Structure 1
Amino acid sequence: MLAEGILGWVLIGLVAGILGKVIMPGRDPGGFIVTILIGIAGALLGGYLAPLIGWVPRATWERYAAATLGAVILLALYRMVATRRRR
């Protein structure tokens, strides 16, 4: 049961991370693993923030949308921090 939960987070994180990269293309440090981690963190962020703004994702596509939105937010923040460090 625990393995299914972890695998589910990895899979939704992978999809959300890839969709986030498609929405915000560009050169980012990090590869496949960083994409998955940003997607997993985005899924957690989206799942936490969505109810706070009055949106409770119930359907599967709504959950993926919330996760992808969270991944895009984290990717934008990641780029801002990475850009400042390069200067």
Structure 2
Amino acid sequence: MTITGIITAIVIGTIVGVLARLVLPGKQSIGVLLTIGVGILAALIGTALANAIGIPTATSGVDWLELLVQVVVAAIGVALVASLKGRKRSAISR
């Protein structure tokens, strides 16, 4: 992966993570850096998943279907991380 690919993954991952937080209802108890990390991971997994199910990811414009898959994966990731972090917090406060 080139440096341009890495920078693009970070930028797209940040956007995907923020979109996932906006899509999920309620308040998520995770920080910004964790959201960005989940978004970056979701962007990479979402692209691989889109390729696996036959969605074209190498187009000349914005790949809207690929972006949709990435946001769905990121929303699942943010919800999972927020629920796991919430469990740890409630177990400590008891």
Instruction: Bin the TM-score by the shorter chain.
Output: 0.7 to 0.9
Q: Name the aligned partner's letter for residue 34 of structure 1.
A: L
Cα drift, residue 57 of structure 1: 4.3
Number of aligned residue pairs: give it: 85
Match of residue 35 from structure 1: 35
- Structure 1, unmatched stretches of 5+, are none
With the length of structure 2 as denominator, give the TM-score of the two structures.
0.74
Tell me, in whole angstroms, the C-alpha distance in 2 between the residues paired with 1:17 and 1:57. Answer: 22
The CA RMSD measured in Å over matched residues stands at 2.0
TM-score in terms of structure 1 length: 0.79
Larger Rg: 2
Residue 17 of structure 1 pairs with residue 13 of structure 2: no
The 5 A counterparts of 1:1-87 are 2-25=2-25, 26-31=27-32, 33-52=33-52, 54-58=53-57, 60-87=63-90
Gaps of 5+ in 2: none
Q: Is the 8 A contact 2:29 2:86 kept in 1?
A: no
1:20-71: per-residue Cα shift (whole Å, max 9, x none)?
A: 011115142312x22221111111222233455x352435111211111111
| Percent identity over paired residues | 31
Tell me how far 1:12 sits from its aligned partner: 0.9
